[in-house]
């Protein structure tokens, strides 16, 4: 008998979200800063120093922010599980009725729902309530260190792209940084959309639009201060 295999994307959503967010921020913030400093008529050394500082500071900021945010979610999950564990120990009959009611709400007959609840609780009561009452599963639970590492690494990788352009290009720096960064943002948006099962074109356009807007505004600020200086 041929086995039916399915591939779902939900298991990748945690690290995928952090990685896409980090890479997007790395490209946009570093490219914008490089363009703003260059537009203010700063020399090549100042542009590169500003870009490297943005890479280091941004990667650490992304890691810290993601870790704190996801750790708060993990703390909430642990608190809910601890409360559920206490309720199972003190009121197992009430918890059985609660779980059976959930299954009835999902379409099972009351007798079958009670039987399913009884068998699942006999196997692993806390796991059954965590999954079906609280919505906490092994695949989707919060992982702070994984999210922080993915954010920091992806930010750094994204930030390297405009920095390489700034280091290698001798003329038309603003145009090169803008063009390369915009192309990378579009590819990133398309790849993220494809991995997540969303329309590729929409994903590419959305991330490229906001990136272009950020770079244009920052360049404008640089030109303003450069002229004023």
The CA distance from 174 to 131, in Å, is 51
What pLDDT does 6 receive?
47
Q: What is the pLDDT of residue 70?
A: 81
Whether 179 is covered by a domain: the verdict is yes
Q: What is the pLDDT of residue 227?
A: 53
What integer pLDDT is reported at residue 34 of this predicted model?
93
Residue 8's pLDDT band (cuts 50, 70, 90):
very low
Number of domains observed in the structure of the chain: 1
Over residues 10-30, the pLDDT tens digits come to: 445 555 666 777 888 899 999
Q: pTM of the full predicted structure?
A: 0.68
228 compared with 101, residue with greater pLDDT: 101
| Residue 1 scores a pLDDT above 80 | no
Write the DSSP string, 141-155: S--HHHHHHHHHHHH
What's phi and psi for 159, nearest 5 deg? -70, -25
In a domain, 94, yes or no: no
CB contact at 8 A, 26 and 154:
yes
Q: Distance between CA 59 and CA 55 in Å, rounded?
A: 6
Most confident of 2-6, 70-74, 100-104: 100-104
Residue 85 lies in a domain: no
- Asked if the structure places residue 126 within a domain, the reply is no
Residue 139 lies in a domain: no
Residue 73 lies in a domain: yes
Residue 209: inside a domain:
yes
Domain that holds residue 198: 11-78+144-228
The residue with greater pLDDT, 214 or 201, is 214
């Amino acid at each position: 008998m041929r086995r039916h295999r399915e591939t779902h994307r939900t298991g990748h959503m945690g690290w995928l979200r952090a990685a896409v967010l980090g890479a997007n921020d790395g490209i946009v913030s570093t490219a914008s800063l490089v363009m703003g400093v260059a537009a203010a008529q700063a020399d090549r050394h100042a542009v590169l120093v500003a870009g490297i500082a943005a890479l280091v500071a941004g990667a650490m900021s992304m890691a810290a922010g993601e870790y704190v945010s996801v750790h708060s979610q993990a703390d909430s999950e642990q608190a809910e599980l601890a409360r559920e564990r206490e309720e199972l120990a003190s009121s197992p009959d009430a918890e059985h009725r609660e779980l059976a009611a959930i299954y009835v709400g999902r379409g099972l007959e009351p007798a079958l729902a009670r039987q399913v609840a009884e068998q699942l609780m006999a196997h692993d009561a806390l796991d059954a309530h965590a999954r079906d009452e609280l919505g906490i599963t092994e695949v989707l639970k919060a992982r702070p260190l994984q999210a922080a590492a993915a954010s920091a690494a992806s930010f750094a990788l994204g930030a390297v792209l405009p920095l390489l352009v700034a280091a290698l290009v001798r003329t038309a720096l603003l145009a090169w940084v803008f063009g390369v960064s915009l192309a990378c943002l579009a590819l990133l948006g398309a790849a993220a959309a494809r991995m997540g099962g969303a329309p590729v074109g929409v994903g590419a356009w959305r991330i490229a639009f906001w990136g272009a807007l950020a770079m244009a505004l920052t360049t404008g600020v640089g030109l303003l201060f450069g002229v004023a200086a």
